[in-house]
Amino acid sequence: MRKKIVAGNWKMNLDYNEGLGVFSEIINMVKDEATGTQEAVICSPFIHIHSLVQLAKGYKVAVGAQNAHQAESGAYTGETSAKMIKSVGAAYVIIGHSERRQYFGESNELLAKKTDTVLKNDLRPIFCIGETLQEREANAHFDVIKTQLVEGVFHLDAAQFAKLVLAYEPVWAIGTGVTATSAQAQEIHAFIRKEIAAKYNQEVADSTTILYGGSCNPKNAAELFGCADIDGGLIGGASLKSRDFVDIVKAFN
Ligand code: PEP
């Protein structure tokens, strides 16, 4: 069956020492407290990754990046490659977060290339999809999500697709304090799984981890994670506080 994952996205928050402090608290809490989550992940800024991987040795917390360049290497000043991320021991890379789509103009076509490069370097993409408020109000959310899937990840073969984690993140719920209701989230997760089954097959669909993201917190996580097609969360703001993050990790209990 599919893996239950809770991944934190620190975004551009926490300096080096602050990050190490929060991460140390997280690994100690996760060690001491039973969780139903099979994989807890922290996706930090690049500067933290190497040190977090060292700290995480022997603990049940993985480390990821928040972005990677689509090229293997080359003259791309300021960029970081998937190979570099792999070389410091990260396991995951967030691809297609709505902030990257919105502020850095990342298209589905570009994100498809990034996904290929990340997979080629033996990292697991956490591929984000989700509609804006305007798109939901225009009743276009199913079409938007289907297009993001088709153009972003449905070019993968079934073996490559099996390494992917998907994250449904309605843009109107990210960092706003407005969470999708569990019924709204479940409806979209079931739709995503149905589309995966139509493209690949039911077995692939049933084994794909689909996370929910958008103002998830210790109070609402258990209800969201209790839905049949929600396999965990991608957590922004609440992942910056160790207690809140670990309480979300424990929401499967
Ligand atoms: C995110 O950025 O992926 C996210 C879900 O943020 P928040 O939890 O703060 O809404």
Give 33's pLDDT tier (boundaries 50, 70, 90): confident
Contacts of 37 (CB under 8 A, 6+ apart): 4, 5, 6, 232, 249, 250, 251, 252
Atom of ligand 1 nearest to the CA of 97: 3
Q: Among this protein's residues, is 155 annotated catalytic? A: no
CB atoms within 10 A of CB 238: 19
Averaged pLDDT for residues 241-248 = 97
Q: Is the pLDDT of residue 87 over 90?
A: yes
Q: Among this protein's residues, is 151 annotated catalytic? A: no
Atom of ligand 1 nearest to the CA of 216: 8
Q: Is the pLDDT of residue 49 over 90?
A: yes
DSSP strand pairing (92-95 vs 124-129) = parallel
Atom of ligand 1 nearest to the CA of 217: 8
Ligand 1 site: residues with CB under 6 angstroms?
9, 169, 174-175, 213-216, 234-238
Q: What is the widest separation between alpha-carbon atoms in the chain?
A: 49
Q: Is the pLDDT of residue 90 over 80?
A: yes
**The pLDDT value given to residue 53:** 98
Six token digits for residue 176: 């706003």
**The pLDDT value given to residue 177:** 87
Q: Which domains does the chain have, with CATH numbers?
A: 5-252 (3.20.20.70)
Residue with the smallest CA separation from ligand 1 atom 3 is: 236
Q: Is the pLDDT of residue 36 over 80?
A: no
Ligand 1 centre from 111 Cα, in Å?
19
Q: Which residue has the higher pLDDT, 175 or 9?
A: 9
